[in-house]
Structure formats: structure tokens, C-alpha cells
Amino acid sequence: MSKKFTFANSATDSLAIVLPNPQISIIAPLFNESESFPRLVARLNAVMENSPLTIEVVLIDDGSRDDTAVQMQQLALTDSRYQCIFLSRNYGHQIALSAGIARACATEALFIIDGDLQDPPELLTDFYQKYQEGYDVVYAVRKKRKENWFKRVAYASFYRFMRSISYVDMPLDSGDFSLISRRVADVLNQMPEESRFIRGMRSWIGFRQTGFEYERDARQAGESKYSFKMLQRLAYNGIFNFSEYPIKIITRMGMFTLGIAGLYLIQTLIKRFVYHDVPQGFTALLFFIILFSGIQLIALGLIGEYVLRIFFQAKGRPLYVVREVIRQQQRQPLSGVNGQKPQENVI
């Protein structure tokens, strides 16, 4: 007896099952969202039933540890409008989102939302109208967030800092919630960046882009899966991937410390030859040693961030591994990884 296994080295590969050609693909990554999952499905179903468009929903399980995957399996086996992708482990939001974008079958546009329903799927109609006006990217602009004051201040500060140092036009208060055209999605699929910052990649691609203001909802259930460490990593990816500022600040710090050292040398020479005073300055010497050592460590840390990204990118590992894809009553087990066109091995 022979069994057929598909080793898919590209997230944009041709599937072993026959998929329709929807106009719109709604992409929603999920991680431990079992509490909000029924409400997500109910609202997505309402959007599809009330829309004249042909819509598919691509749900990505990012290695959930609750019964999110079980609910996704049951849904995909009974509703042909849903395609469910199961990653082999937790890779993080940006990678899971990339997997969904890569496997979406839409011919016109992809609508990217969060699975926690903070991004209202009902706005698809408004976003699609902007798309019909000729925009390739319609990104959501958060005019109000229902979160604590610390997070609101932190997010607002980061977006403004990012915009001020980035070499691309980074819109303020805009996350991944957006509608992108098919050609923008195709370009994203060709970008093999390991440290992904999709909103920055989306801005870098260009084409016609416009913002759409909305009020961000509170989470429907559970708690945010973005820990402080994960948010810090996301911020680092944005800063180091889309700005020259970190590497240039090293030169500025070097010039600053050189200037301080020069002034101190002049002061010492004046004391020695004008006032005939031998500088005692043990405290000052200790201060300058600590100051210069700290600046050197910061510079090494900044360089290390670039080296680390080069190291991971040079490995050439796939961004993710797909464990399984389910659509309606057909299941596709995969050892699927992204990168190249798939190869089929018959055993």
C-alpha cells in the first residue's frame, strides 16, 4: 500500500485539495482563544451571509494549548467556507499571520483581523469600498483604544517614535488590521524576513494606501496573549528592520564621548600649565570610566541586534512548519514548511 505525503516548502504552494476561488479571504490567527471562538465564528458567519462577495475564512492555530484547535477542526469539517491551518508549534502572531496570508486563496483582497474580536469583522464592507476606489492597502487607524492608560501611552509613544526614525512612511496608530490587495499579498509572500514586522513590510511595499479610522473594541474574552517580552520583541523588529537610527546613534554617541574627553583634556592642561595645579580627579576619572564603558556596552548591544538578525536569517530555516490543513471533509497532513515550491514524495 502506498501513502502520499506532501512536503510543502512554500506557504504559497498548490494544495492537494481543490479549493474554490473566493474574492476575499479573511485571515485570523488564533492562540488559546477557545472562549471567544464561538463569538468569532458567529460574527464571521453573519458577515459572509450579509455580503454579496464570495468569502473564505482562513484560521491559523498558532500551537494553542486549550481546545481552540479542536473547535477549529470541527468547524472546518462542517463548513466549506473555512480553511484551518495548524502550525506545528507556537511561532508567534506575526509568523502565524504570514502563514495565513501565504495560503489564502482570494483573487481580489485579503482582510486581516485579530481572532480576539478587537478588530470588528463587520468593517469589511467599508474597507472593500476603499479598495474599489483603487487602494491596494486600507489600514485601520485606532482613534480610541479600550485598554488601560499605561498601554495606551506606550503604544502611542512607540508609533510616534517609530514614525520619526523610520525610513518608510509608517502610519500612526495602525496595526495589522487591514485589507490588502492580492498583489500586495503576493509581494509579502516573496519577502523571506525572519524577524517579521508586517505593518512595516506593508508600508515598505508601497502602492496606493489609505487609512480608515475605527474604535478598537475590548477583548471579548480571556487576556491578551502579547506579553511584555513579546511586545518588546515586536518593537525591536520594527526599529531594527525599518530604521537606520540604531546604527547611526553609535556614531553620535562616539562623537559625544570624544567631545567630553576633549573638554576634560583641555581642563586638565589648563590646570597644569596655567594654574600649576596637579589634577586630583579620582572621582571624575571613575565617572568617565563608567560612562565610556556603559556607552561601549550599549554600542555592542546595538551591533549585536543586527548580528543576531543576520545570524537567524543566514540559517535559511523556514518561517514555520504546517502540521495540518483542514477544509470541509478533506484533511491534508503536512510536513509543510515555507521557502520553495513543494515536492511530493510517494512512499
With a cut of 50, list the residues of the chain below it in pLDDT: 1-19, 329, 331, 335, 339-347
Q: How far apart are CA 289 and CA 261, in angstroms?
A: 11
Element (H, E) at 321: strand 321-327
Q: What is the pLDDT of residue 128?
A: 92
Statement: the pTM of the whole predicted model exceeds 0.85:
no
Q: What is the pLDDT of residue 6?
A: 33
Q: What is the pLDDT of residue 325?
A: 87
Q: At a CB cut-off of 8 Å and minimum separation 6, what does 234 contact?
A: 94, 197, 226
Q: How far apart are CA 44 and CA 249, in angstroms?
A: 46
- Compute the CA torsion angle 337, 79, 107, 186 (nearest 10 deg): -20
All three cell numbers of 42, joined, read 458567529
Strands 24-30 and 109-112, by their bridges, are: parallel
Q: What is the pLDDT of residue 343?
A: 36
Assigned fold of 4-242+318-346: Spore Coat Polysaccharide Biosynthesis Protein SpsA; Chain A (3.90.550)
Q: At a CB cut-off of 8 Å and minimum separation 6, what does 102 contact?
A: 10, 11, 12, 189, 338
φ and ψ at residue 238, rounded to 5 degrees: -65, -45
All three cell numbers of 216, joined, read 478598537
